[in-house]
Chain A
Amino acid sequence: MNTELIFEKSTPGQNHYIIPKWHGETCSNIPEKYIRKEVNLPDCSEPEVVRHYNNLSRMNFGVDNGMYPLGSCTMKYNPKINERIAGGKGFSSLHPLSGSDCAKGALKIMYELTEYLCRITGFTGFTLAPAAGSHGELTGVMIIKKYFESIGETRSTILIPDSAHGTNPASVAMCGFKVREVPSTSEGDVDFDKFLKLLDGDVAAMMLTSPNTLGLFDRNLLKIADALHKNGSLFYGDGANLNATVGRARFHDMGFDLMHINLHKTFSTPHGGGGPGSGPLGAAEHLVKFLPVPLVKKNGDSYSPVYDMPDSIGRIHSFQGNFAICLRAWVYISMLGYEGLREISDTAVLNANYLMSQLKDIFYLPVNRVCMHEFVLSDKGLAGGVTTNDIGKRILDYGFHSPTVYFPLLIHGAMMIEPTETETLSSLDHFVDIMKKIKQECEENPGIVLGAPHNTPVKRVDTVLAAKNPVLVWADDIG
C-alpha cells in the first residue's frame, strides 16, 4: 500500500474552515506587487485532516507501543504528567519577551532546573538555551574556543575517541578546530598510551562520552582527566549516556570541565519523532562566565534573566531555549527525587547486564565485560548471509523497535542495545526469545530474515533509490 499524502486527499472547495470576518473599516497598505496570487496548500475538510494524521500515526512505532532498545537514544517511558503540566495555559501562552514581573513562574522553573542539574553533575552553572544535545556540544566547543582566546593561547586540535558520536567531530569542525582521533583498546577503553602520544601543546580539549558508546565506563577516565589538565587542556563530557550514572557519580568529580545533558534521554522528555529535545550545557566554575546569555539569577523571592556577562560567547538561541521541554524535565526530577534518580541508573544498568547475559551466547559480544546502560553486539558469525540490517528489520516483525545499527563504527555490524529502566523483566525475556528465534531463522530459513520486515505497515524501504533519485517534495505528477 502506498503511504498516502494529504495532497492526494485535497479537493477544491472541500475546506470549510471559517476565518473570522473583520468588523472594522478595511484598509490595506501593501502594494500589489508584493501580494501572493494563490496559496498552494491542501483543500480538505477538518474530518479528513484528522483521519489522515490519525491513520499516519498508526504507521508509527513509539515507546508507548513497545520496547524501543535504540542504543544511545535512551528510549524510556515519557510520563504523562509531564505533558499535562507543560500544556498548562500559564506556561504555554507565555511570551518569551515577557518581563521578569510577568514570567516569574517560568524563570523559577529555569532557575530550579539549573540548580538540580548542577547538583546532579557537580558543575557550577548550566545554560538551558541549547535546543538539542548537538546544540549543547556546539556551545561547549565554542566555550573551549573562547577560553583559550581569553588566556591568549592558540590551540587548534580536539581529541575525539574513535567510538564517539558523529556530532562530536562535526561540532568541532563548525568551530574551526581540527579533529585528532584517539583509538580504543580491544577492551573498549581509550588506548591510554596512544592518547598520551597524541596529547601535545596544540590540544585544546578532549571530548569523551561517559560511559562511552560501547556502554562501558572508561577505566582510564581519571588518568585521562589528569593528563589533560596537566597539559592545560579542557575535558568535555558528552552526557548522552548519563542514564547510566545519574545519582551514582558526578561528571565534575570525574574530571570533566564541561558537559551537555540530553533532557530527552535521561530526564524523560519525549523524543517527538526526532525533536524537540533540549541539551543544557554545564560548566565548571572557571568556565561559567563564558556560558551563553541569558542565565537566570535569583534575588530573594524574584528571578531575572542575566544578560550582563562580558565574557559570554553570546546568544545561541532565538530566545531562551526549549522552555517547555525544560519544564517537563523539572517535573520529572522533582517527582523522582534523589532516590528515584538513582533507581534509574541502578535499574537501567541491571536491565542491560541481564539482557547482555542472555544474548551473549546467541550473538557475538565483542567486548565481554560488565556493561553500563547498554552493550554492543556484532554481526560476526551470522549464518545465511544475513547482516545487521536484516536482523534489525526482522526485529520489527516481532513488535519491537530495532537496536541502533552500524554504530559505533569501530564494531563491525554493530547492534547497540539499550533497554532503559522502564522495561519489565517479561519484556526483556520476550526480546531474548525473539532474538533466539531470529538467530535460528538465520540458520534454518535465512530468506525470511533477508526479506524482512513482513508484518510492518510497509515492506523493506529502498533507501538507495531515495538517494539516487532524490524526490524531496510532492508534485501532482510524481505519484
Chain B
Amino acid sequence: MVNDMSFTGLSPADRKKMCDTIGISSIDELFRDIPSQLHMSNIDGFPGPLSEIEIERLALGVESEIRQFIKTFLGAGAYNHYVPPVVDEISSRSEFYTSYTPYQPEVSQGTLAAIFEFQTMMSRLCGMDLTNASMYDGATSMAEAAMMAVRTNGLNKVLISRGVHPNYRKVLDTYAWAAGFEVEEIPLDNGVTDINKFREYFTSDISAVIVQNPNFFGLIEDLELFAEVISESSVVLIAVVAEAMSLGMLRGPGEVGADVVCGEIQSFGNPLNFGGPYAGYISTKKEFMRRIPGRLVGQTLDSDGNRVYTLTLQTREQHIRREKATSNICTNEGLIALRTAVYLSLIGVKLKELAELNHKAACYLHGRLRESGIETVHQNMPFFNEFIIKPSNCESVKSEFTKHGINPGLDISKLYPEYEGCILICATEMITKDDADEYVRIIGGCR
C-alpha cells in the first residue's frame, strides 16, 4: 500500500477488509477487464509526490516568474476592475463551490436562487426578457448566438462587424466552418461599423448581423441604425458586449433594437486569471425561449406550496434531446454567474456611478493626451472606457512604460494592420487622475 500524498480515506486494514468482502486477494483483480498489455506501472520523469508545504513553495516560485504591473491600461476584452472582498468571500463558501449542477433542487436552492438572480439582473441590464444561466465565455456565447439565429430562421449567412473583438471573430469562424454556415465581415468607417456597407450586404440570405458595443476600439455603435435596416425581416440583430461595465452607463441593447445580447461578464467581479474562467451569456426575447442554448433556472413551487427554483425547459438540452439539442453545452460557468450576482447585488444601484467613473477616467486621459500632442485616432467619436492613440514611436512606448512598472495598453498593429503603430488604451475605476497624468508624462518622453 502506498503512503504518498493523496486524499483517499482508507487504511491498509480497510483495504484488506474490503478486498475480503468482495472476494479478491488483490486490487489488481478488479482491473481484469483491461487487457494485460495495456497495464502500466510507472511514468518516466513524472513530478512529485510533494507535500502540501512543498507544492506551495514550488507554485510560489513559478508565480514569481510572472511580471506584475503597478498600473495597467490594458483592456481589449479582459478588464482590470476592482473585485470586492465580498465576492471572494461568498464564492469561497464550499457549499457553493463544491456542489455540482443543481440536478436535485431540494438541496441546491443556493445555486439555483443565485442563478435566477443572475438571469434577472442580466436581463434587466440588457433590456431583454430572459438570460441563460451562463456559458463558457464571451466568444463562444457569440458563436452560439449566431448558431441559434441560423437554427431559427434557417438562413445560412452571418454578417459580422470588423469592430467585433478579433478573437471572437476567429471563434465564430471556427464554429461556422464546423456547422456549415457562412460568415462575412462588414468593414469599418472611422472606427465604427460602416452602416452603408451593411445596407449593401443586406441580402435575403442573411440570418444574423453581429455588432459589438462598445466595439473593440471602445467606440459606441449606433445599434438603432442597424435595427432600422433590419426592421420587420427575420434577420437577428446580435449585440455583443465584451465590456460588461458599459451596461451600467449605456442603454441595454434590447432597448435599442437588438434581438439577442451576448458577451462576457468577467468585469462583474471576476479576476483576470490569464483568460479564464470567465463566463458568457445569451440574453434575449421571449420568442427565443425554447431555442436558447444552455441551462435555464425557473421559478416553481415545492410540495408545501412554497416558491422555489429549479432547472427548467430541459427538453432543449443534450441529456434529453441528444443530437436534436439546441447545443451540446452541459456544464456552464455556475460559480462565475454566482460571483456576478453577488457583485451586482453589492454594487447594485451604484453601477451607473461606477461605470461613469470608468468613462470619466478614460475621457480625462484622452483629453490630456490630445492636449500634449499625442495623436488620438477617431476624433470626436464617443467611447466608453477605451480608445486608440497613435504615438510617434509605438515600440519605445512599451519599453519605457515597462520601466515604470506600467502596462501602457495593447499594440493593435498585428490585429488591425490598418492601425499600424496604434495602441488601445483602457482606463477603469482603478486609474486615478495621478495615474493618467503619469501616463501623459511618460509617453511624452517616448521619442
* B346 and A46 contact, CB distance less than 8 A: yes
CA distance A292 to B171 in the complex (A): 10
Residue numbers in A under 8 Å from B105 (CB-CB): 458, 461, 463
Residue numbers in A under 8 Å from B69 (CB-CB): 102
Residue numbers in A under 8 Å from B65 (CB-CB): 104-105, 108
Contact of A169 among B98, B100, B322, B335 (CB under 8 A): B322
Main DSSP-derived SS at the A contact region:
loop
Residue A116 interfacial (CB < 8 Å): yes
* B80 and A62 contact, CB distance less than 8 A: no
* B249 and A35 contact, CB distance less than 8 A: yes
* A275 and B334 contact, CB distance less than 8 A: yes
Contact of B328 among A88, A171, A217 (CB under 8 A): A171
* A276 and B335 contact, CB distance less than 8 A: yes
Residue numbers in B under 8 Å from A470 (CB-CB): 289, 296, 298, 312-313
Residue numbers in B under 8 Å from A300 (CB-CB): none
Residue A318 interfacial (CB < 8 Å): yes
CB distance from B55 to the nearest CB of A (A): 5
Q: Which chain B residue lies CB-closest to A222? A: B35
CA distance A215 to B282 in the complex (A): 35
- Pick out which of these stretches binds chain B: A173-181, A194-202, A228-236, A434-442: A173-181
* A319 and B170 contact, CB distance less than 8 A: no
B289-323: CB near A (< 8 Å → 1, else 0) gives: 10000011111111110111111111101111111
Most chain B CB atoms below 10 A, which of A2, A216, A221, A317: A317
* A135 and B140 contact, CB distance less than 8 A: yes
Residue A85 interfacial (CB < 8 Å): yes
Residue A460 interfacial (CB < 8 Å): yes
Residue numbers in A under 8 Å from B310 (CB-CB): 461, 463, 466
Residue A451 interfacial (CB < 8 Å): yes
- Pick out which of these stretches binds chain A: B155-163, B186-194, B231-239, B272-280: B272-280
Residue numbers in A under 8 Å from B31 (CB-CB): 217, 248-249, 349
CB distance from A101 to the nearest CB of B (A): 7
* B33 and A36 contact, CB distance less than 8 A: no
CA distance A325 to B137 in the complex (A): 14
* B289 and A273 contact, CB distance less than 8 A: no
Known contacts A5-B117, A340-B2, A472-B289; decide if A44 and B138 are in contact (CB<8 Å). Answer: no
CB distance from A21 to the nearest CB of B (A): 8
Contact of A350 among B18, B103, B113 (CB under 8 A): B18
Residue A410 interfacial (CB < 8 Å): no
B1-25: CB near A (< 8 Å → 1, else 0) gives: 0101111111000110111011100
Residue numbers in B under 8 Å from A472 (CB-CB): 116, 119, 129-131, 289, 296-299, 312
Residue A185 interfacial (CB < 8 Å): no
CA distance A78 to B100 in the complex (A): 12
CB distance from B250 to the nearest CB of A (A): 6
Residue B182 interfacial (CB < 8 Å): no
Contact of B364 among A22, A78, A354, A423 (CB under 8 A): A22
Q: Which chain B residue lies CB-closest to A36? A: B251
Residue numbers in A under 8 Å from B264 (CB-CB): 318
Contact of A78 among B63, B97, B333 (CB under 8 A): B97
Residue A50 interfacial (CB < 8 Å): yes
Residue A448 interfacial (CB < 8 Å): no
B337-358: CB near A (< 8 Å → 1, else 0) gives: 0100110111111111110110
Residue B377 interfacial (CB < 8 Å): no
CB distance from A115 to the nearest CB of B (A): 9
Residue A25 interfacial (CB < 8 Å): yes
* B90 and A15 contact, CB distance less than 8 A: no
CA distance A330 to B358 in the complex (A): 36
CB distance from B310 to the nearest CB of A (A): 5
Residue numbers in B under 8 Å from A241 (CB-CB): none
Known contacts A167-B330, A170-B325; decide if A60 and B276 are in contact (CB<8 Å). Answer: no
Contact of A392 among B104, B138, B302, B329 (CB under 8 A): B104
* B86 and A340 contact, CB distance less than 8 A: no
CB distance from B182 to the nearest CB of A (A): 14
Known contacts A272-B335, A336-B6, A337-B47; decide if A15 and B106 are in contact (CB<8 Å). Answer: no
Residue B109 interfacial (CB < 8 Å): yes
* A93 and B48 contact, CB distance less than 8 A: no
Residue numbers in B under 8 Å from A19 (CB-CB): 350, 353-354, 357, 429
CA distance A10 to B323 in the complex (A): 43
CA distance A393 to B350 in the complex (A): 42
Most chain B CB atoms below 10 A, which of A61, A274, A319: A274
* B432 and A276 contact, CB distance less than 8 A: no
* A60 and B302 contact, CB distance less than 8 A: no
* B251 and A56 contact, CB distance less than 8 A: no
Residue numbers in A under 8 Å from B30 (CB-CB): 349-350, 353, 370, 372
B38-69: CB near A (< 8 Å → 1, else 0) gives: 11101111111111100110111011111111
* B274 and A91 contact, CB distance less than 8 A: yes
CA distance A84 to B55 in the complex (A): 11
CA distance A135 to B276 in the complex (A): 14
Q: Other CB < 8 Å A-B pairs besides A19-B350, A28-B356, A97-B77, 13 of them?
A: A2-B306, A41-B121, A49-B86, A56-B109, A61-B104, A70-B100, A131-B276, A248-B31, A273-B100, A314-B170, A325-B276, A335-B55, A337-B50
The 9 closest A-B pairs by CB, nearest first: A319-B275, A337-B48, A96-B275, A276-B277, A272-B335, A62-B98, A337-B49, A60-B110, A274-B334
**A and B contact pairs by CB, cutoff 8 A, 9 listed:** A7-B117, A76-B7, A134-B328, A270-B97, A323-B276, A336-B5, A421-B7, A425-B9, A461-B302
